[in-house]
Amino acid sequence: MRSIKRYLGPFLCLCFLVITLVFAFRALRSGSSDIRNIVINEVCLDNLSCLYDENGKHPDWAELYNKGERDLDISGWYLSDSSAKRDKWAFPAGTVVPSNGYLTVFFDGTLDKEPDQDESFSLESFIMNGKAIPSGDNGLHTTFRLSKNETLYLSSKREIPVDSFELIPLKYDTTLSRLPDGSASFFRTTPTPLSSNSCGEAVIFPSLSKPVFSRESGFYDSEFELSIASSEGDIYYTLDGSTPTPSSIKYDKPIKIEDRSSEENVYSALRDVSVDLLPYIDYKFSLPLAPVPKCNVVRAAVFDENGNRSETVSRTFFPESVNSLFKGIRVISLVTDPVNLFDYEKGIYVIGKNGVESFERRISESENALSFIRENPGTPTDGSVVIGDVKMDEFIESNYTMRGSAWERESFLTLFDDRHVLSLSESLGIRVKGHRTCNFPKKSLNLYGRNYYGGKIIDKGIFDKDYSRLTLFAGGQDELSLVRDAFISDITSKLSFASLSFTSPCALFLDDEFWGIYRISEKMDEDFIGEHYDVDPNQVVMVKNSLLSKGIPEDDELYGELRHFIMNADFTTGTDYERFQEMVDIESLIDFYAARIFIDEGMDWPNINVAFWRTRESDESNPFSDGRWRYINFDNNSNLDYGAVSVNTISKALNGTKNYRPDELFSKLMKNHDFKERFLKRFKEIIASAFDPESAIKKLDRYAAEIRPFMKSDFDRYYGDRYTLKDFDEDIESIRKYLRERPDYIIPFVEEACSP
């Protein structure tokens, strides 16, 4: 008995150990099985607008999928693009992938995020961007970015390989997806973040050789037959700007290229491009009364019997009539699928779905409108008629007022120089630009060079510099002469603020129809500042109309510091005034306010149309990298208005009006005696130099002579018979009169404001 008791204790301990090991082994096996349920399910390498993060931005992304029946905590797991270093980025504590559920991760570099360069950091911009699929506020941003032709690795806590995903080239806003979810089969599809990949549509990546055209884009003095060749499949083409598909015209004989200018208008006959063209709006715009000039746009692609395709090739051919009409200026062909511009849901150039829904919301909020509908059932609610007291106006939220990359569309730009020699052919993104003026039928368009479309650079054939963003400027409210912005930028170019550069006039053809006389301008962004001041664009912080519009979110602290200082500053004493000059380039500020007080009608400015910039960090080798704020002058197309030649603009800036508040900063500065003396002296210097009537009018006359021969075509396109060249001449003369007479009015006003 004693011997049994002697061995019973160790025996029971051994049994307990065995049982513990069995359960541990089972748990280990179960855990090993669970981790294999997590896979990299979908990857987007070029996210233009298909998914936004919690900041309203759109980095590249990947989706994880849990194909198991249990939620799995992956805290401490790793993602990496290197097989040799599996622990590049770790999932934070509390990260769980739900059973049969999904989790998105953004690959923007946590320490080096790049914001959308056309959105301000504000709740409003995020809401405007919110047309794409929201990600949820998960905050998962890796410290590295993804590249094509590499592999993405997923590893568990001990860097045990769990899954890998080989990345291949993709078209923007498409993904490489496992189909079905979690399987070993991969397909290019439309994005399905946070939902089953079976909901996506197949995307064909171009793999065949492009079709070969017998002629390049250009101007031709007679009609000809265009041949297109391919050795890999059948060719399908379109003549209306749309993207070719196997449902398009099959190429089986040469295409006749001839002068089509006498054909009926198609796109330029659309009223939905502007609220100002609605029948009940009596505004200055009109549809063309006759056929507009036209070109031939041919787009072709190759398709084979296995479902493969080539990239689309676009060519534009101009007849002799266009060559003669626009002799001596650049001609631009901008081609995009008409759906991108004029479609009810996705067209960026029309009132569209957003406008109709906004109109219907107005109806629902108006008892008069609701009563009218009850009494008149069947009344259309699309905005085509006034309902009660509700109508469409410039404040209606329309497709063309939308902002953000969700409203960017791919296009193909062909540029011919002033001798009509081909100088640039490039795929670009386009967005509608402007606030009040985006309601006009003739809209400005921002151009974006991106890797998505084949290159980040818009070639230097325009400004002798490389840019990633430019603007096709329609003229805004300067519809009679289209000279003000370019002219003012020119005569103020030697002052201590930045001004956008503008090209000479250009004739724009949108798809195959004449769209008006435009200018190409620089776009006000960090590249523009970098070019003009030789600073690192990545260090530029920019504020426009009281919103931080360029930089990173943390830069709001820099702007906040300036705002807080101005709010509490007392410039009557020297201390705050001296501190202010350490924060702001006072010469830039004085030149900016002096110029605007001279040229401005005093309606919008200084409440809006104010922008300034600084570098985030100082660089002693460059005086413009000293961290001080400097001004940018822009949006001058309603200035030099002779009707406002006698307006006391400095009083409006100091005291405000019934509808506009005074400028807080300028009002405080004008309480400082030294500033007032300095401002008055510099103001008179600028009038004697930049705004000297004799030299300024000589420049104005050169601008007028340059564009006058082409303005009748623009008037015919947008104003019917409302305007003639007499109106152009009278507008130029009104600018001359403004330049001659303005000093006699404004100098006494400034002297009075600057008196002790």
Tens of pLDDT, residue by residue over 442-452, are: 999 999 998 88
pTM: 0.88
- Least confident residue range of 135-139, 141-145, 520-524, 746-750: 135-139
296, part of any domain: no
| Last residue in a domain, options 170, 199, 228 | 199
105, part of any domain: yes
Q: What DSSP line would sit under 546-557, residue for residue?
A: TEEEES-GGGHH
Directed axis angle between helix 352-364 and helix 367-375, to 10°? 100
The total of structural domains in the chain comes to 2
- Least confident residue range of 61-65, 110-114, 331-335, 544-548: 110-114
At 457, is the pLDDT very low, low, confident or very high (cuts 50, 70, 90)?
low
> DSSP 3-state assignment of 685?
helix
150, part of any domain: yes
Cis peptide upstream of residue 180 (ω within 30 degrees of 0)? yes
Percentage of residues in the chain having pLDDT higher than 70: 90
Q: In what order do the strands lie in the sheet with 89-90?
A: 89-90, 78-80, 151-155, 161-166
pLDDT at 24 over 80: no
pLDDT at 129 over 70: no
- Give the structural domain span for 59: 36-199
- Across all residues in the chain, what is the average pLDDT? 90
| Last residue in a domain, options 199, 216, 242 | 199
Q: Which of 397, 478, 469, 479 is nearest to 439 (CA)?
A: 397
614, part of any domain: yes
344, part of any domain: no
pLDDT at 10 over 60: no
Q: Which of 186, 220, 218 is nearest to 41 (CA)?
A: 186
At 52, is the pLDDT very low, low, confident or very high (cuts 50, 70, 90)?
confident
Model confidence pLDDT, tens digit, residues 465-497: 778 899 999 999 999 999 999 999 999 999 999
Nearest-angstrom CA–CA distance, 553 and 119: 11
Up-side HSE of residue 288: CA atoms within 13 Å toward CB? 24
Supply the pLDDT for residue 110: 63
211, part of any domain: no
Supply the pLDDT for residue 138: 64
| Last residue in a domain, options 199, 233, 256 | 199
427, part of any domain: no
pLDDT at 25 over 60: no
Note every long-range contact of 242-250, with CB atoms under 8 Å and residues 24 or more positions apart, other chains counting: 242/299, 242/337, 242/338, 242/339, 243/299, 243/301, 243/312, 243/337, 244/299, 244/300, 244/301, 244/312, 246/303
CATH number of the domain to which 151 belongs:
2.60.40.1260
553, part of any domain: yes
